[in-house]
Amino acid sequence: MRSLFQMARLGNILIAEITLAAGIFLSQGIFTLRGIAANAIAFACAIAFGNILNDIFDLEIDKINRPSRPLPAGKISVRSAKIFADICAAITLAAGFISPSPTSHLLFFFALLILLFFYDKNIKRIPLIKNVCVAILCTTPLMRSLFLPQANFYPIYTAIGFAFLFTFAREIFKDLEDTQGDLNAGIITFPLVVGENKASLFASLLLLFSLLSIPIPVAIGWMPRSFLWTLIPLIPLVFFTCRFSQKKQYRTAQKWTKSSMVVGLFFLIFSHFI
């Protein structure tokens, strides 16, 4: 069970749940405890499904890049991992029975599971497209709040754009970290196409562009002026992330990018209180 939870990536699930809560708050839509519970359960299980499936498809690559993971380390069998992935998918859809809008729940999460499956099977082998796909997947907890009655879309659009850019950059750092394993496995990623330095520069530019974009939703009236306070913590975080990337410390850059995204979402919420 410990290996299965490790494959599910509890850290990623926690971030998704925080993002879901942030989206519900920012939308100011009408929600119920049943609806929150249904979506929280569904996202947790959908993310576990996607991550376990990813490890199954990437078994040979992980033997090089991450040999300590449960599957390449032999801590769990592929058959057991597949069974657990199927259970997670079933619970994702079954959570719709406690949702106040079961049809909407079923359609949204069925589409999410299909996208996760095809990402793990095919899309992640297409340079740059795979990075964009992951960035979109990571914004789905925010997208879900757009379905709430009387939701205010503009703060959600802002949060989606912010999360998309940071996740896009993080995924490129991840590809940079895994270059050798991907090359040995015959997987062509963005850094292998354009070169390490250009890929690193592109990821850094995405982060810098996200910083420069923060005043835009304020200028067009989507967000209050207090949203500009987000720049205070993000400027040093992005600076150090870019420095780690420049030094080819891509795993550290990846972690700092994830932390920056969480901090940014926190300040996005905080801006509504000041």
How much is the pLDDT for 120?
A: 86
Helix axes 102-121, 33-57, angle to 10 degrees: 20
Residue 232 φ then ψ, to 5°:
-60, -50
CA–CA dist 196, 180 (Å, integer): 11
How much is the pLDDT for 269?
A: 82
End-to-end CA distance of the chain: 44
Domain ranges for the chain, please list them.
1-126, 152-273
CATH fold match for the domains 1-126 and 152-273: no
How much is the pLDDT for 179?
A: 83
Quote the distance between the C-alpha of residue 99 and its chain's center: 24
For the chain, what's the residue count? 274
Helices (H), the chain: 2-8, 10-27, 33-57, 59-65, 70-73, 78-94, 102-121, 129-138, 140-144, 153-177, 179-185, 190-194, 196-213, 215-219, 231-246, 250-270
Query: Hey, how many other C-beta atoms are within 10 angstroms of the C-beta on 225?
Result: 11
Cβ–Cβ < 8 Å for 112, 48: no
Superfamily covering domain 1-126: UbiA prenyltransferase (1.10.357.140)
How much is the pLDDT for 274?
A: 64
pTM, entire model: 0.86
Q: What is the secondary structure of 197-258 as a DSSP string? A: HHHHHHHHHHHHHHHHHTHHHHHTTSS-GGGGGGHHHHHHHHHHHHHHHHTT-HHHHHHHHH
- Assign domain 152-273 to a CATH class: mainly alpha
CA–CA dist 20, 9 (Å, integer): 17
pLDDT in tens, the chain (274 residues): 777 778 878 888 998 998 899 899 989 888 899 999 999 999 999 999 999 998 888 777 777 777 778 888 778 888 888 999 999 999 999 999 998 889 999 999 999 999 999 998 888 889 899 999 999 999 999 999 999 999 999 999 999 999 999 999 999 999 998 887 777 767 788 999 999 999 999 999 999 999 999 999 999 988 888 888 888 889 999 999 999 999 999 999 998 998 888 888 888 888 777 6
